[in-house]
Amino acid sequence: MPSGVRSAALRAASIAALLLLWWAGSQLMRAPDVLPGPAAIARTIASDLASTGPEGQSAYFHIGITLARIAITFAASMLVGTAVGLAMGISRTLEGALMAIIPLLLTVPTILMVFLAVMWLGFSEAGGLVAVMTVVAPYVAVNIFEGTRAIDKSLIEMGLTFRASRALLVRKVYLPQLMPYIFSAFRYAFGMTWKVVALAETFGLKYGIGYMFFFWFEQFNMRQVLAWIVIFVILMLVLEHGVFARLESRAFFWRDSAARHSPA
């Protein structure tokens, strides 16, 4: 069968197999609290979405808060990280100075950062923001910095022989070469951001998906814990693959070389 159809079939089979495995596991471990099956979780999710949860807030509220936190902390980290990375690319002194500290920041475990942020800034949004930024921004900075070092100088030279102004060079030669690095930093930073947000919500922030994880965990409510995990996973999968992958392929379509043979 044609490869496109075959891939689609395999993917469908894959998801089906996963659900099947899950269901089989839930049947094997008969005590429902150990591994509720897909159907039970689906029902739980539906009822969560339809009703008001504990603390008097709807599920949509928690989801919304988490998404908002992710959006804000992600944007802040990307901005700061990119600015720092670019600055490091321009100034060798800054590069030397920061390359001494950044690896240190990258080594500190996330949980320590979250604990510190909560202990110093309290159970506040500021704490969450700082926790995310201290984890994600250095990572972005290093990525962008490496991008600046990978710029093809022969193209800048070419621009100079044609007397292109600095602004033109930055716009048309420098920045487009940074785009792949910005994008990859984007994707990884996004992945890191929501993980830190989930952790921060578990320990120190009120409301949000992470908060719900911990709430139901403390009550040993397996069904709810799994339900919220599934909600989170689906949301993140949609964002990562639906949004990012599409953006990326559209931005970089010029990279495909044609298979057809052209005469010289």
123 and 206 in contact (C-beta within 8 Å)?
yes
Q: How far is the CB of 129 from other proteins (least distance, A)?
A: 18
139 and 189 in contact (C-beta within 8 Å)?
yes
CB neighbour burial string for 21-35, b if at least 16 within 10 angstroms, e if fewer = ebeeebeeeeeeeeb
Q: Does residue number 237 form part of the binding site for other proteins (CB under 8 A)? A: yes
Looking at 183, 229, 244, 248, which residue binds other proteins (CB under 8 A)?
229
From the list 55-63, 66-74, 118-126, 136-144, the region that binds other proteins by CB under 8 A is 118-126
Residue linked to tokens 């994600």: 136
Torsion of CA 89, 91, 97, 102, to 10 degrees: -20
Closer of 85 and 159 to other proteins (Cβ)? 159
In sign, the C-alpha dihedral spanning 86, 91, 92, 93 is negative
Q: Does residue number 18 form part of the binding site for other proteins (CB under 8 A)? A: yes
Q: How far is the CB of 102 from other proteins (least distance, A)?
A: 9
Q: How far is the CB of 158 from other proteins (least distance, A)?
A: 4
> Which of the 8 DSSP states describes residue 58?
B
Which 3-state string (H, E, C) describes 93-142?
Answer: HHHHHHHHHHHHHHHCCHHHHHHHHHHHHCCCHHHHHHHHHHHHHHHHHH
Site size for other proteins (CB under 8 A): 79
Closer of 7 and 249 to other proteins (Cβ)? 7
Using alpha carbons, list the distances in angstroms from residue 100 to 93, 109, 142, 153, 198.
Answer: 11, 18, 12, 27, 29
From the list 51-59, 60-68, 141-149, 210-218, the region that binds other proteins by CB under 8 A is 210-218
Looking at 23, 115, 183, 188, which residue binds other proteins (CB under 8 A)?
115
Looking at 49, 72, 116, 151, which residue binds other proteins (CB under 8 A)?
116
- Of 68, 41, 53, 74, the residue nearest 231 (C-alpha): 41
Q: Of residues 32-91, which lie at the interface with other proteins (CB under 8 A)?
A: 33-35
From the list 51-59, 74-82, 143-151, 207-215, the region that binds other proteins by CB under 8 A is 207-215
- Of 100, 111, 102, 72, the residue nearest 208 (C-alpha): 72
Q: Of residues 243-262, which lie at the interface with other proteins (CB under 8 A)?
A: 254-258, 261-262
Q: How far is the CB of 154 from other proteins (least distance, A)?
A: 6
The interface mask with other proteins, positions 94-113, x = CB under 8 A, is xxxxxxxx-x---xxxxxx-
Closer of 52 and 126 to other proteins (Cβ)? 126
Q: Of residues 136-195, which lie at the interface with other proteins (CB under 8 A)?
A: 154-155, 157-165, 168, 172-173, 176, 179, 191, 194-195
Looking at 67, 72, 80, 236, which residue binds other proteins (CB under 8 A)?
236
